[in-house]
């Protein structure tokens, strides 16, 4: 094992930047993908670095959410400039999204690390199969306040629990409510901002409540700051390319390839 590092060496910094470059593409293309890729890779890297097993998955989930904040902001801005964000849809989902994200993040910090990893793995495999089959949600274009509030709560809670920006769930929900796919993707990216900010704050709280298990230096609660910084630098470059691809290329083939990656990563999380 490599001992936990007191400072970020250049090789590790490059690794996290490259990871950001990779994850920014699917985040911009599909409105999903950042956390689904980041969490299992963070778990693998943190394990190699010799970080304590207790709380390791929480550290990966929290760091993923922290890294998603600027990615979501950049993606949302890029989609907004192309007219891809539906303001009414965002307002309808926002209350449930925020409440659910706070609850989900709180639950994640209390779970056993191995159990949290299995929950993530099962979810990732399910999402990969859904993308591979290209299943379409049933459409219910008549807006109902309770449906939007409950849907937002579920989306926020699940997203914060496993460290994703929510586009995986938000996009099909918005499509089911009658939004055109590209506007659903853009709106999902915008809603990833409150999910990631709210959940990240909860994952940082143990820093001041003395409930965090032993975490490596340069951590803030369950946030590993070197990983967040490197990934943010990479995604700042690549997320715009993902948005451009979403508006210019047929994504069916790329979707199937990405689905395969998710299924493999999910299986590795389940078997670790």
Identify the band that residue 6 occupies on the pLDDT scale cut at 50, 70 and 90.
very low
Query: Would you list the DSSP string of 106-152?
Result: HHHHHS-HHHHHHHHHHHHHHHHHHHHHT--PPP--S--HHHHHHHH
The stretch 92-104 carries a mean pLDDT of: 94
Distance, in Å, from the CA atom of 93 to the CA atom of 166, rounded to the nearest integer, reads 12
Identify the band that residue 2 occupies on the pLDDT scale cut at 50, 70 and 90.
very low
Q: Are 23 and 38 in contact (CB under 8 A)?
A: yes
Angle of the 145-162 helix axis to the 56-81 helix axis, nearest 10: 130
Residue 27 clears pLDDT 70, i.e. is over it: no
| pLDDT, tens only, 188-231 | 889 989 999 999 999 998 877 766 567 788 889 999 998 998 88
**H or E element, residue 164:** none
Residue 3 clears pLDDT 50, i.e. is over it: no
Distance, in Å, from the CA atom of 150 to the CA atom of 147, rounded to the nearest integer, reads 5
Taking the whole predicted model, whether its pTM rises above 0.85 is answered as: no
Distance, in Å, from the CA atom of 191 to the CA atom of 152, rounded to the nearest integer, reads 10
pLDDT at residue 251, rounded to an integer: 61
Q: Are 67 and 168 in contact (CB under 8 A)?
A: no
| pLDDT, tens only, 151-185 | 999 999 999 998 888 877 888 888 888 888 778 88
pLDDT at residue 142, rounded to an integer: 56
Residue 85 clears pLDDT 50, i.e. is over it: yes
pLDDT at residue 62, rounded to an integer: 94
Identify the band that residue 232 occupies on the pLDDT scale cut at 50, 70 and 90.
confident
Distance, in Å, from the CA atom of 2 to the CA atom of 15, rounded to the nearest integer, reads 15
Identify the band that residue 150 occupies on the pLDDT scale cut at 50, 70 and 90.
very high
Q: What is the three-state SS of 236-270?
A: HHHHHHHHHHHHHCCCHHHHHHHHHHHHHHHHHHH
Specify the higher pLDDT residue, 30 or 266. 266
Percent over 70 (pLDDT), the chain: 85
Residue 5 clears pLDDT 50, i.e. is over it: no
């Amino acid at each position: 094992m490599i001992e936990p590092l007191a400072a970020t060496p250049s090789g590790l910094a490059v690794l996290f930047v490259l990871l950001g470059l990779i994850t920014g593409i699917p985040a911009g293309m599909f409105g999903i993908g950042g956390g689904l890729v980041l969490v299992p890779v963070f778990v693998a890297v943190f394990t190699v670095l010799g970080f304590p097993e207790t709380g390791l998955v929480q550290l990966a989930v929290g760091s993923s959410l922290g890294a998603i904040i600027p990615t979501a902001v950049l993606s949302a801005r890029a989609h907004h400039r192309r007219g891809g964000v539906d303001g009414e849809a965002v307002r309808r989902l926002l209350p449930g999204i925020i409440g659910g994200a706070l609850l989900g993040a709180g639950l994640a910090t209390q779970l056993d690390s191995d159990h949290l990893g299995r929950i993530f793995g099962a979810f990732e495999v399910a999402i990969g199969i859904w993308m591979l089959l290209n299943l379409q949600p049933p459409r219910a274009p008549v807006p109902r306040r309770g449906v939007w509030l409950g849907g937002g709560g579920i989306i926020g809670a699940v997203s914060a629990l496993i460290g994703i920006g929510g586009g995986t769930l938000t996009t099909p929900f918005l499509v089911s409510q009658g939004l055109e796919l590209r506007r659903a993707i853009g709106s999902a990216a915008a809603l990833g901002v409150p999910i990631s900010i709210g959940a990240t704050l909860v994952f940082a709280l143990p820093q001041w409540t003395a409930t965090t298990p032993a975490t490596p230096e340069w951590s803030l609660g369950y946030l590993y700051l070197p990983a967040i910084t490197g990934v943010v630098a990479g995604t700042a470059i690549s997320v715009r390319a993902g948005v451009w691809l979403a508006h210019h290329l047929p994504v069916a083939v790329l979707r199937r390839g990405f689905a395969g990656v998710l299924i493999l990563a999910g299986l590795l999380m389940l078997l670790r």
